[in-house]
Amino acid sequence: MATRALLLHSDPDELLPLLVERCPDADWRAAATPDEVEPTLATHRPEVVFSIKHNGFPGPAHRPALAAPDVRWFQVGGSGRDHLGTWDPARVTVTTCAGVLAPFLAERALAALLSLATGLPGLLRAQAERRWSPTTFRPLAGRTLLVVGVGHTGGEFAARARSLGMHVIGVRTSRAPHPALDEVHGPDALYDLLPRADVLSLHVPLGDATRHLIDARALAALPVGALVLNAARGAVVDPDALVAELERAPSERRIAGAWLDVFETEPLPSDHALWSLENLLLTPHCADQADGWPILFAERFADNWERRRRGQDLVGVVRP
């Protein structure tokens, strides 16, 4: 008997041909909008759910599928699962696609770092004003990068930064060595490390311990001229504290610039102060969206489907 499966994705036709081919023993249905979720759950009673959220199909709209009584496996198309709330792991196994897009996110994070470090935003403003304004910049080689959260993405970014000659320090709960790190410390060492961080890059999941992890006190602990990069979750950085720091006069400012790809409220309201900061690079939560990224998630799901069919452990299992 075929396994009842449900795809939650705004463009089902993009993925269903691959899913049908790779998972021939599945009986697929799809919900393309939040309004279709509850009716499809009621009529199809899926045992497996493959869920990809975005602004048009936000995380809370996916929660009813996780709570549906027949669902035994819920695959998240992405690395984050804070949008799901909690679940009973004895009833349903939740897996994520953590690591699938990590190289691409690291690539864009590196682009943001190079842009800020070499002063490209100011040069682009000068170009727009037809103003000839040569500048100098401080090379990244020999400077210190502090990576907070050395999982898939943090490790990929650390490796790229180290190839530029940076000294890379990692903060990770496990304290385990990593080939891209020159030093490894636990989370309790954060405030001892911040004064050494010419660049602070954040790659932690959002939880009670990481909400507003980088607040006014943390920003004040960074050295003058530091750069801050956040492509983790918006609430890891206190936006009010960051705005207050970046709005200071250059002579009073500790933070030379920042890049944010994630925000507490998404889409970011058009009247938010972050939009108007000249020393901030802002991207709309798309740092890892390389061409064809949903297909890459579908390939991970299909690989897990085959593992499940063979009775093997699934890749990417997470707990609440």
Q: What is the mean pLDDT of residues 49-56?
A: 91
Identify the active-site residue in 217, 247, 266, 306: 266
**Residue 82 has what pLDDT?**
87
Q: What is the mean pLDDT of residues 41-68?
A: 95
Our answer to whether residue 308 is catalytic in this structure is no
Confidence of residue 221 (pLDDT cuts 50, 70, 90): very high
The reply to whether 102-282 shares the fold of 3-100+290-318 is yes
3-state secondary structure labels for all residues of 41-71: HHHHCCCEEEECCECCECHHHHHHHHHCCCC
How many Cα atoms occupy the beta-carbon half-sphere of 257 within 13 Å?
17
Tell me which fold the domain 3-100+290-318 belongs to: Rossmann fold (3.40.50)
Our answer to whether residue 203 is catalytic in this structure is no
Identify the active-site residue in 233, 245, 300, 308: 233
Contact 28, 51 (CB under 8 A): no
**Preceding omega of 267 cis (within 30 degrees of 0):** yes
Our answer to whether residue 54 is catalytic in this structure is no
Spatial neighbors of 176 by CB under 8 A, at least 6 apart, are 184
What are 243-299's pLDDT values in tens digits?
999 999 988 999 999 999 999 999 999 999 999 999 999 999 999 999 999 999 999
Name the β-bridge partners of 171.
Answer: 148, 185
Question: In the predicted model, is pLDDT for residue 211 greater than 90?
Answer: yes
Domain boundaries, the chain: 3-100+290-318, 102-282
Q: What is the mean pLDDT of residues 90-112?
A: 98
> Which tokens hold the place of 157?
């970014």
The amino acid at 48: V
Angle 27-31-34 from CA coordinates, rounded to 5°: 155
Question: Which comes out higher in pLDDT, residue 131 or 55?
Answer: 131
Confidence of residue 56 (pLDDT cuts 50, 70, 90): confident
CATH architecture of the domain with range 102-282 = 3-Layer(aba) Sandwich (3.40)
